[in-house]
Structures are given as C-alpha cells and as structure tokens.
C-alpha cells in the first residue's frame, strides 16, 4: 500500500476577464503549481462574464 500526502497551498488570487477588465474578483484558492489547467466554480465564471472557448474531457485520479 502506498500513502500519499498532498500539501494544500492556499493563496490570494485575482481572476480577471481580459475582455472586460472591470470584471475582476479576488479570493483565496488552492494553488497547484504543477497543474496544466485551472478549474473555476460556475458562480465565479458567471460573475466574471467568461465565455467558453474550448471544451476538454478530463479524468481525475482516485485516491483510496
């Protein structure tokens, strides 16, 4: 059996809609410096007025 401990790093971040820079939100979030994509909650996407530019399928690892 393998045990994996993943440290959480919480940082204050700023997310901005580049098409409308007046729409910007600051909040604390978990930062994964090795991630290749970002995930945002739907309410944040709607508040920022973000538009979908692409769609990808992802598979998450399951840690038991």
List per-residue pLDDT tens for the chain, 64 residues long. Answer: 566 666 668 889 999 999 999 999 999 998 887 888 888 899 999 999 999 888 888 887 777 7
Give the DSSP letter string of 1-64: ---------EEEEEEE-TTSTT-EEEEEEE--TT-SS----HHHHHHHT---------------
Residue ranges of the domains in the chain? 10-48
**The model scores a pTM over 0.75:** no
């Amino acid at each position: 059996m393998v045990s994996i401990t993943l440290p959480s790093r919480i940082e204050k971040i700023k997310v901005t809609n580049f098409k409308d820079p007046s729409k910007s939100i600051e909040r604390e979030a978990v930062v994964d410096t090795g991630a290749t994509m970002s995930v945002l909650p739907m309410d944040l996407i709607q508040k920022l007025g973000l538009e979908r530019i692409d769609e990808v399928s992802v598979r998450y690892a399951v840690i038991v």
